[in-house]
Amino acid sequence: MRSSQPPPIPGWQKRLRRSNLLRLWVARVFFRSIPHGRYIKLKPIGYRGRELTARMPYQEALIGNLETGALHSGAITALVDQTSGAAASLAVYPPSMVATLDLRLDYLRPAKAGAAIYACAEAYRVTKRIVFVRCTAHDGDREDPIAVGMSSFMRNGPIVKNPLRRLFRKKR
């Protein structure tokens, strides 16, 4: 009878690299480290594959049109930029520091008054130096977006050089 043995170390590394929960945790740390993101209460709420979803609650301080109660476009831009940057950072292993090279945002309609805004950013192409991201901002219905964005980010090296190295190094 064979005894059950734990899987080999490389399998564990592979699973940890792809762990959505670990990447969501890194995104939350990233979002908390940016002051304007904290001020407007941006929060990542999901990560799957190469797609990060973040939420910005409706706040009276961010109203851009007092007559309709629609949020200011600058707050939506900050949500899209920060969510896209986090998605670009998390698209590689280990996560990279990134800098925005280009951000294009097309506003399609005003946001509904009183509704939280969601941004879903997907890193659709990763090269050696550049990560390309598309992002959709909506207020609950992904099929009816408020804005769509396309951006590119320059990779500036890992945030932490192989954070799992100490866990998996061979003992001498």
Which CATH number covers residue 159?
Answer: 3.10.129.10
User: With bands split at pLDDT 50, 70 and 90, how would you rate the model's confidence at 115?
Assistant: confident
In a domain, 3, yes or no: no
Q: How many domains, in total, are found in the chain?
A: 1
Is 84 domain-assigned?
yes
Which residues span the domain enclosing 29?
9-168
Is 2 domain-assigned? no
State the pLDDT confidence band at 126, using cuts at 50, 70 and 90: very high
148, part of any domain: yes
Question: Counting beta carbons within 10 angstroms of the beta carbon of residue 55, is it exposed (0 to 12), middle (13 to 18) or buried (19 or more)?
Answer: middle
Which pTM does this prediction carry? 0.79
- The answer to whether residue 40 is domain-embedded is yes
Token readout for 56 is 């910005």
Note the pLDDT tens digit of each residue in 26-57: 888 888 888 888 888 899 998 888 899 999 99
> CB-hemisphere CA count at 13 Å for 170?
3
Q: What is the secondary structure of 146-169 as a DSSP string? A: SEEEEEEEEEEEESSS-TTHHHHP
CA nearest neighbour of 26 among 75, 92, 78, 70 = 92
The continuous run of DSSP H or E covering 17 comes out as: helix 9-17
pLDDT of residue 60: 79
Amino acid in the structure at residue 101: L
